[in-house]
Amino acid sequence: MSGKATVAVVGVGIMGTAIATRLLETKHPVAVFDPDAAKTAALAAKGARVATHPADAAAASDFVITSLNSARIVRIAVFGKDGVAETGAAGKMLIDMSSIDPAATRAMASELREKTGMAWVDAPLSGGAPKALIGKLTVMAGGDAADVERARLVMDSLCANYSHMGPSGAGQTTKLVNQILCALSFQAVAEAVRLAEAGGVDAAKLPAALAGGRADSAILQEYGAKMARRDYTPTGSIVNMLKDLEGAQAFAAAERVPLPLTAAITDSIAYGTVPGPIASIRLFAVSIVSFVNELPIPSSSPATGNIAIGSIKALPTRCNTPNTRPLIQVSRPFAYTNFN
pLDDT at 233: 76
Query: Are 169 and 106 a contacting pair, CB within 8 Å?
Result: yes
Same-domain check for residues 123 and 19: yes
Query: Are 125 and 37 a contacting pair, CB within 8 Å?
Result: no
Question: Which run of H or of E encompasses 217?
Answer: none
Same-domain check for residues 158 and 35: yes
Same-domain check for residues 104 and 127: yes
How far CA 212 is from CA of 27, 107, 207, 310, in Å, comes to: 38, 43, 10, 37
**Structural domain for 20, as ranges:** 7-166
How far CA 11 is from CA of 31, 88, 175, 186, 202, in Å, comes to: 11, 17, 19, 28, 43
Same-domain check for residues 302 and 161: no
Q: What is the pTM of this model?
A: 0.79
Same-domain check for residues 183 and 310: yes
**Domain presence at residue 333:** no
Q: How far is CA 78 from the centre of its chain?
A: 21
Same-domain check for residues 98 and 206: no
Sequential pLDDT tens for the chain (340 residues): 457 999 999 999 999 999 999 999 999 999 999 999 999 999 999 999 999 999 999 999 999 999 999 999 999 999 999 999 999 999 999 999 999 999 999 999 999 999 999 999 999 999 889 999 999 999 999 999 999 999 999 999 999 999 999 999 999 999 999 999 999 998 899 889 999 999 999 999 999 999 999 999 999 999 999 999 988 776 667 788 889 999 999 999 999 999 999 999 898 888 766 554 333 233 233 343 333 334 333 333 333 333 222 222 333 333 333 333 333 333 333 333 332 3
**Nearest residue to 179 (alpha-carbon basis) of 134, 245, 260:** 245
The dihedral of CA 182, 283, 16, 129: what is its sign?
Answer: negative
CATH of the domain at 224: 1.10.1040.10
Instruction: Name the residues annotated as catalytic.
Output: 175
Residues paired with residue 289 on neighbouring β-strands, in sequence order: none
**Domain presence at residue 338:** no
Which residues fall within 8 angstroms of residue 127, CB to CB, at 6 or more apart?
136, 137, 138, 338
- Tell me how far apart the alpha carbons of residues 82 and 59 are, in angstroms, rounded to a whole number: 11
- SS3 label, residue 161: strand
Domain boundary among the residues 119, 148, 166 is at: 166
- Written as one letter, the residue type at 185 is S
- Tell me how far apart the alpha carbons of residues 163 and 139 are, in angstroms, rounded to a whole number: 6
Same-domain check for residues 148 and 125: yes
Strands 30-33 and 7-10: parallel
How far CA 200 is from CA of 75, 170, 195, 213, in Å, comes to: 53, 45, 9, 22
How far CA 268 is from CA of 239, 319, 332, in Å, comes to: 12, 12, 13
pLDDT at 91: 96
**Domain presence at residue 335:** no
Same-domain check for residues 114 and 190: no
- SS3 label, residue 165: strand
How many domains, the chain?
2
As separate numbers, helices (DSSP H) first and strands (DSSP E) second, the chain gives 13, 11
pLDDT at 313: 30
Same-domain check for residues 90 and 203: no
pLDDT at 267: 86
CATH of the domain at 126: 3.40.50.720
Same-domain check for residues 159 and 192: no
The dihedral of CA 211, 216, 222, 223: what is its sign?
Answer: negative
- SS3 label, residue 183: helix
